[in-house]
Amino acid sequence: MLRDLLHRLRAVFRRTSVERDLDDELRFHVERQTEKYVRTGLTPVEAARRVRLEFGGLDQVKERCRDARGVGLWEGAARNLRYACRALVKRPGFAGVVILTLALGIGGNSAVFSAINAVLLRPLAFPEADQLMLLEQYEPKTANPATFVASLRLADWQRMNGTFQAITGYYPDEISETSGELPERIAAAWVGPRFFQVWGVIPALGRIFTPEEERFGGPGVVVISERFWARRFGSDPNVLGRPLRVGQQWYPIVGVMPASFLFPLRDVDVWRPSPLDAPYAQDRRSTWFTVVGRLKPGITATQAQADLDRIQAELGAKYPATDAALAVRVRPLKDVIVGGVGRSLWLLFAAVSLLLLIACTNVAALLLARTADRQQEISIRYSLGASRASIIRQLLTEALVLAALGSLVGLLVAAGALRMFHVLAGSLPRIAELRLDWTLVAYSLSCAAGATLLFGLLPAVRHTSRQTGESLAHRSRSGIPATYRLHWLLVGVQITLAVPLLFGAGLLLRSFDALGRVSPGFEFDRVLTFRITGNWGETTDIEALARRIDLTLDALRSLPGIGAAATSLAAPGVPFQRQTEFRILEGEATPDQRIAASTRVVSEGYFGTVRIPVVAGEACPREPAAPAAVVNRRFAELYVPGATPIGRHVEHVPTNPFLAAGRIVGVVADAREDGLNREPPAIVYWCQSAPVPAPLFLVRTRAEPMAMADTIRRKLQELEPRRSMYEVMPLDERLSDTLAENRLRTALLSAFALTAVTLAAVGLYGTLSYLVSMRRREIGVRLAMGARRHDIATALLRQGILVSLTGCLVGLWLAAALGRAVSGMLYAISPLDVPTFAGVLLLMTGTAVLSSLWPAVRAARVDPMRVLREE
């Protein structure tokens, strides 16, 4: 192996001396052989002739020697490259079309790949991010969702585990900071001990919390974000020690976190310790932490899971009332953050890969036609002693140059596409991490290399067979291959590949359309939504909090131009929580039946504001004396069949100390509360206006909702000057945000499908035009012999349509097989949707007719006299 390499290297670097040696060696042989024949009595001329006959062409032998040494591959590369560039410059039109086609294919592919890389493949932007895990507590026996974790349980997990370097927790909050001239709303995060250690991020300035500060009663301090530092303190380096005033307390700043640290929320400005040993945290049922841990090096998620399973089992034995029913789930944080976007991205990646294949097929057809044009040149090179391998190498070099240029232009396309992603997909996870980098460049270059083999090899192999070379003598100058089967095949393949794309895009479009037409069961236009700052400290006096919210609601209702106002824990139609389990206190308990329903917490006036009709009983009353609830019709039908649920009591399972059993006061109509694309679930609406300090306010306006924002802001300023209003947006915008991923993938897939169809049409047109120009002579002769122009045009047209139809049918079969891949993303549309099938068939046939028409007309216009004269 090494000797081989040295040999080749010597051949490359000392090329002239190697060539001279070869010349000398062969000349020596020829001379000796000639002398030998002269000795046997031949004249020197005859002897030389005989040696030449025996030897064959000297150049051919030399070429074979070079091949045998393996020189050609290296030294030929530079020469091939020069030839290739020269050949392409001579045909700028051809080169331009090929490069553009490849740029579309490679660019699109690279852009989607970089999205996959940024979102799915690359680790999160923390040191050793693979070690970061989300720890959730849930109840395996019921359908209860993962809930927040109690401080005590977090402390137990921390103390008892052997697989984590550290476990911490956090919860977001909003505070009004009042040390400045005007109160400012600040997004804050309360964090458990060792929070920053878990992330492995060090502050840009100052320090993180000390263990004393993380204990109850320790010194109260805060760490601020770089953004807040810049905004509020003008990035003053002496900010450390300066106090922030929150509520009645002053807290000195001890550190500034770098701008890249955006956890747990993008807009967190202040981090404060939340001690686990605080008196208010000593109830195992008081849960508020979201828990994150960092694994020890070398520990897998499975091992950590086993560890926590064991710990929770021990805790269950020790605290049967609160912990026995709980289990722990350990999931990589990245999976949690990325969520379901992966499926969409892989779908798009499959789509652009099809597109790239189509582009390659297209280019293969173009190259095939071009190589056929160069038959003459190839034959001459054969007779000069070139080996087949060397000719194939040269043709492949040309293809490689095209592909490299294509991938360079493709990178520009990709860069543009990335910018578009940022705009269109701003709400998708991790999209901010998307950028043009070396991985992308390397990827698109390897795309180019793969593409070269795909589209370059076919014409190279096909047009360099020995017979082609040797038959040079027997051919006329205009000699052309008799069949064009391969050309037609390539056209068919392009159409076949374009069809599944078109079909997929059609399905998504129809599904999106169906989604737009669905009746959600509530009215979301002309509703303004917003929040008003509040902080968790207010929850110590729930009644005061409820009074404040109710007063605000009254003030809102008094405004002209406002029809109704209410609060809700979450926006209607936006997925909020998984279902939880309930128990109905009255009636016979059926042990087998589990009552699962979605939970919503709404204030008086909610149903009127979003116009969900009350079917029986009454809507939520104003601050009920005893807990009250409203259920929807589906809940009533499923769980209290044949009776009225009104007057019965529902209760969470397991019982929640903060949510006592509530009396059902009414039944409302079904609404798609958990997402427009889901059937209305069974729902329990708890009647409570202030479940959290900053619930979502919903206001029905008579005019354009945003036009009311200012009036409302002024009214609130009048009412409570210290609070600010934020997240102001119309309800329909919130709903539309939940469909962002859906919309993006539909738009992108449609764009890819359109490109694919265009490429296929160009391919069909190009191939037909090429055939017509190649067969001009034949057509001319046929016309001269009396064929009708009409027949010639129809024959071509028919062939074009036939090939397209065949490709289309195979493509549809393929599409039907692939339809399952998108079935999970469809709403109310079957993956075998007949109208979509028909539409695709119609569109492809129409495209085929259009692209065949002009070449067919040109064929019919051939002037027999001119063609025959050209001969």
Smallest gap, in angstroms, from Cβ of residue 33 to another protein? 7
Window contacting another protein (CB under 8 A); options: 22-30, 203-211, 462-470, 552-560:
22-30
Window contacting another protein (CB under 8 A); options: 20-28, 223-231, 580-588, 786-794:
20-28
Rounded Cα distance, 48 and 32, in Å: 11
Is the CB of residue 313 less than 8 Å from the CB of residue 323? no
**Nearest to another protein of 45, 834 (CB atom):** 45
Q: Which residues pair with 581 in a beta bridge?
A: 596, 653
Tokens of 583: 């128990």
The site map against another protein for 59-98 (x = CB under 8 A) is -xx--xx-xxxx----------------------------
Q: Does 33 bind another protein (CB under 8 A)?
A: yes
**Nearest to another protein of 37, 443 (CB atom):** 37
Window contacting another protein (CB under 8 A); options: 2-10, 139-147, 364-372, 552-560:
2-10
Q: Does 32 bind another protein (CB under 8 A)?
A: yes
Q: Does 25 bind another protein (CB under 8 A)?
A: yes
Q: Does 7 bind another protein (CB under 8 A)?
A: yes
Smallest gap, in angstroms, from Cβ of residue 52 to another protein? 10
Rounded Cα distance, 827 and 520, in Å: 14
**Nearest to another protein of 32, 622 (CB atom):** 32
**Nearest to another protein of 53, 589 (CB atom):** 53
Q: Does 21 bind another protein (CB under 8 A)?
A: yes
Q: Please, what is the end-to-end C-alpha distance for the chain in angstroms?
A: 56
Q: Indicate which single residue of 55, 83, 319, 349 sits in contact with another protein (rule: CB under 8 A).
A: 55
Rounded Cα distance, 351 and 334, in Å: 25
Smallest gap, in angstroms, from Cβ of residue 60 to another protein? 7
Smallest gap, in angstroms, from Cβ of residue 384 to another protein? 15
140-177: b (≥16 Cβ within 10 Å) or e:
eebbbebbebbbbbbbbbbeebebbbbbbbbbebbbbb
Window contacting another protein (CB under 8 A); options: 56-64, 419-427, 518-526, 824-832:
56-64
787-821: b (≥16 Cβ within 10 Å) or e:
eeeeebbeebbebbbebbbebbebbbebbeebbee
Tokens of 315: 């805790």
Smallest gap, in angstroms, from Cβ of residue 45 to another protein? 17
Window contacting another protein (CB under 8 A); options: 18-26, 591-599, 657-665, 780-788:
18-26
Q: Does 623 bind another protein (CB under 8 A)?
A: no
Q: What is the dihedral of CA 308, 311, 313, 319, to 10 degrees?
A: -130
Smallest gap, in angstroms, from Cβ of residue 393 to another protein? 18
Q: Does 29 bind another protein (CB under 8 A)?
A: yes
Residue whose structure tokens are 């052989």: 33
Q: Does 466 bind another protein (CB under 8 A)?
A: no
**Nearest to another protein of 24, 541 (CB atom):** 24
Smallest gap, in angstroms, from Cβ of residue 467 to another protein? 19
Q: Give the closest residue to 676 by CA, choosing from 568, 514, 520.
A: 520
3-state secondary structure of 786: coil
Q: Does 24 bind another protein (CB under 8 A)?
A: yes
**Nearest to another protein of 60, 353 (CB atom):** 60
Alpha carbon 256 to its chain's center: 33
**Nearest to another protein of 24, 618 (CB atom):** 24
Q: Give the closest residue to 693 by CA, choosing from 279, 247, 24.
A: 247
**Nearest to another protein of 328, 391 (CB atom):** 391
Q: Does 4 bind another protein (CB under 8 A)?
A: yes
Q: Indicate which single residue of 15, 20, 23, 54 sits in contact with another protein (rule: CB under 8 A).
A: 54
Is the CB of residue 840 less than 8 Å from the CB of residue 365? no
Helix 92-116 to helix 72-90 angle, to the nearest 10 degrees?
A: 110
- DSSP code string of 787-833: --HHHHHHHHHHHHHHHHHHHHHHHHHHHHHHHHHHHTT-SS--TT-
Antiparallel, parallel or unpaired: β 595-602 and 327-332: unpaired
Smallest gap, in angstroms, from Cβ of residue 25 to another protein? 5
**Nearest to another protein of 52, 245 (CB atom):** 52
Antiparallel, parallel or unpaired: β 270-273 and 184-191: parallel
In Å, what is the CA distance from 756 to each residue of 105, 719, 800? 9, 59, 18
Smallest gap, in angstroms, from Cβ of residue 380 to another protein? 20
Burial of 312 (0-12, 13-18, 19+ CB in 10 A): buried
Q: Total residues contacting another protein (rule CB under 8 A)?
A: 26
Q: Which residues bind another protein (CB under 8 A)?
A: 3-4, 7, 21, 24-26, 28-29, 31-33, 36, 50-51, 54-56, 60-61, 64-65, 67-70
